[in-house]
Amino acid sequence: MKIIIVGCGKVGSTLAEQLSKEGNDIVVIDPNYERVQRISNEFDILGIAGSGSNHSVQEEAGIGSADLLIAVTGSDELNLLCCLIAKKAGNCHTIARVRSPEYNQEARFIQEELGLAMVINPELAAAMEIARLLRFPSAIKIETFARGRIELLQFRVPEKSILHNMKVLEIPASLKCDVLICAVTRNDQVIIPDGNFVLQSSDVISIVASPKNASVFFKKIKIQTNQVRDAMIIGGSTTTYYLALQLLAMGIGVKIIDKNRQRCENLSENLPEATIICGDGTDQTLLGEEGLAITDSFVALTDLDEENILLSLFVSDKFPQIKTVTKVNGSTFNNIIRKLNLDTVIDPKLITAEYIVRYVRAMKNSIGSNVETLYRLVNNQLEALEFNIREKAPVLNIPLEQLKLKKNLLIACIIRNRTLITPRGQDKIMLGDKVIVVTTNTGLNDISDILAEH
């Protein structure tokens, strides 16, 4: 596919990297010549220095033959204008990043009236992910498939857990619950386990199950499944506003601490049910006075990555029972951050890129099947994909044990007529099924891509 990306900031450069790796023809546009040169050289793609809202610049980028234009500059209005021009000049699909809470109320209207394929709001997307995690605080990450009927949950095996030293194949009989362990992260290495794989404390495990079966599983291994009662949020950003709205609607108490008085006044006006404290969120005395020791969850959403990381490390060390969420905006030290004792790390840039990459994959329909849902996990080392099975798919009506699958790939679940099937060797993939695949391989676009030879 030919894709034009307008804006070479953190989101734009992440998209350029991920989409070019998947074999797409990428062109980037940005007024900053040095930024364009750096990205062009780094990812071996075409770059044009200029304004993405300029018709002649879009023409130079090849808008007439483009399949998709993605506008992710720092300006909502500029992004919408770029998409409007692209629709007129090239009649291609368009995606705009729109961040302002003002426009969020009108997102559906804007999308329909301007004919946009997608309107993506990074702050809202990050807030939704955090809210989902606070609904189930023991999870590190939660993703859903088949419109919520199937969940993929990541969690860390606690010390002295019943799972410690247990083989994967022993779990169904020992715990009498229907879940599939599809991936394990140990010492920064992602493993697709077989039945003889032995779990250990501190492993990060990914499971696939229905919400009901997942709930049974977590009760059996004595892990908390109920939502938090309250949340202390440091930083009064736009993400904080979106998150507070969702938490309050869920019946979760919200306390926000920010040292900017104007921000606090705005939040107090727009969030009358929340408690707003004007003060320094890094002040340990203030945190103690505001009840940190008895809060259920702590969310670090300041504008500084370093501040968020240090705050979460402090809380995790002093109050290990508290669920912590840490926002990190595209740090260059991701490898080091992953080794720290942080519970859940949220990167709005990566969440935005994931939404858009998922849409691009869905555009690449083929005769046999297509990707309906895509999630990238463990710092992009693991992918979980949901395929729709259509006619002529090469996996139809063949027992799974006879399929020659790629290495490091697992068929995690089959959904047939709303029924969840945990795959066994004799099961077959049928026309109309949805199939969930978990793999460390990247770039799967079709169900045929799971085969070692096709």
Question: What gap in Å lies between CA 369 and CA 387, rounded to an integer?
Answer: 7
What residues form DSSP beta bridges with 5?
A: 28, 70
Is 167 inside a domain boundary?
no
| Structural domain boundaries, residue 60 | 2-120
The mean pLDDT of 59-70, rounded to a whole number, is 94
Please name the residue that has the structure tokens 């942080």: 342
What pLDDT shows up at residue 388?
Answer: 87
Q: pLDDT band at residue 331, thresholds of 50, 70 and 90?
A: low
Same domain, 329 and 425: no
80: number of Cβ within 10 Å: 21
Same domain, 340 and 434: no
Question: What gap in Å lies between CA 245 and CA 27, rounded to an integer?
Answer: 38
Structure token digits, residue 117: 């394929």
What pLDDT shows up at residue 319?
Answer: 94
pLDDT of residue 367 exceeding 50, the answer is: no
The mean pLDDT of 337-343, rounded to a whole number, is 77
Q: pLDDT band at residue 368, thresholds of 50, 70 and 90?
A: very low
Do the Cβ atoms of 191 and 197 come closer than 8 Å?
A: yes
Is 399 inside a domain boundary?
yes
Is 170 inside a domain boundary?
no
Is 293 inside a domain boundary?
yes
What pTM, to 2 d.p., does this model score? 0.80
Same domain, 321 and 378: no
Please name the residue that has the structure tokens 């994909």: 385
How many residues can be counted in the chain? 454
Is 177 inside a domain boundary?
no
Q: Specify burial of residue 403 (Cβ count, 10 A radius: 0-12, 13-18, 19+).
A: middle
pLDDT of residue 330 exceeding 70, the answer is: no
Do the Cβ atoms of 45 and 20 come closer than 8 Å?
A: yes
Do the Cβ atoms of 365 and 448 come closer than 8 Å?
A: no
Question: What gap in Å lies between CA 134 and CA 226, rounded to an integer?
Answer: 9
Same domain, 7 and 116: yes
pLDDT of residue 443 exceeding 80, the answer is: no
- Given 346, 380, 405, the domain boundary residue is 346
Same domain, 428 and 319: no
90-149 pLDDT, tens digit per residue, is 889 999 999 888 887 788 888 888 889 889 998 999 999 999 889 888 888 888 887 778
Q: pLDDT band at residue 361, thresholds of 50, 70 and 90?
A: confident
Structure token digits, residue 366: 């083929």
Question: What gap in Å lies between CA 19 and CA 21, rounded to an integer?
Answer: 5
Do the Cβ atoms of 36 and 57 come closer than 8 Å?
A: no
Is 174 inside a domain boundary?
no
CATH number for 290: 3.40.50.720
Do the Cβ atoms of 307 and 300 come closer than 8 Å?
A: yes
What pLDDT shows up at residue 333?
Answer: 67
- Given 281, 313, 346, the domain boundary residue is 346
Residue 451 DSSP symbol: B
Backbone region of residue 188 per phi and psi (left: phi > 0; alpha: psi in -120 to 50; beta: other values): left
Same domain, 111 and 7: yes
Is 242 inside a domain boundary?
yes
- Given 346, 372, 401, the domain boundary residue is 346
DSSP-assigned letters across all residues of 80-111: HHHHHHHHHHH--EEEEE---HHHHTTHHHHH
Same domain, 11 and 48: yes
The CA distances from residue 115 to 63, 112, 225, 372, in Å, are 16, 5, 41, 21
pLDDT of residue 338 exceeding 80, the answer is: no
Please name the residue that has the structure tokens 């040169």: 37
Could you give the number of structural domains in the chain? 3
360: number of Cβ within 10 Å: 23
CATH number for 421: 3.30.70.1450
The mean pLDDT of 206-222, rounded to a whole number, is 88
DSSP-assigned letters across all residues of 105-144: TTHHHHHHHHT-SEEE-HHHHHHHHHHHHHHSTT-SEEEE
Is 21 inside a domain boundary?
yes
Do the Cβ atoms of 429 and 351 come closer than 8 Å?
A: no
DSSP-assigned letters across all residues of 294-351: G-SEEEE--S-HHHHHHHHHHHHHH-TTSEEEEE--S-TTHHHHHHSS-SEEE-HHHH
What pLDDT shows up at residue 366?
Answer: 43
Structure token digits, residue 198: 């032995």
CA angle 16, 187, 358 (to 5 degrees): 30
386-435 pLDDT, tens digit per residue, is 888 888 889 999 999 999 999 999 999 999 987 888 888 899 999 989 99
Question: What gap in Å lies between CA 135 and CA 226, rounded to an integer?
Answer: 7
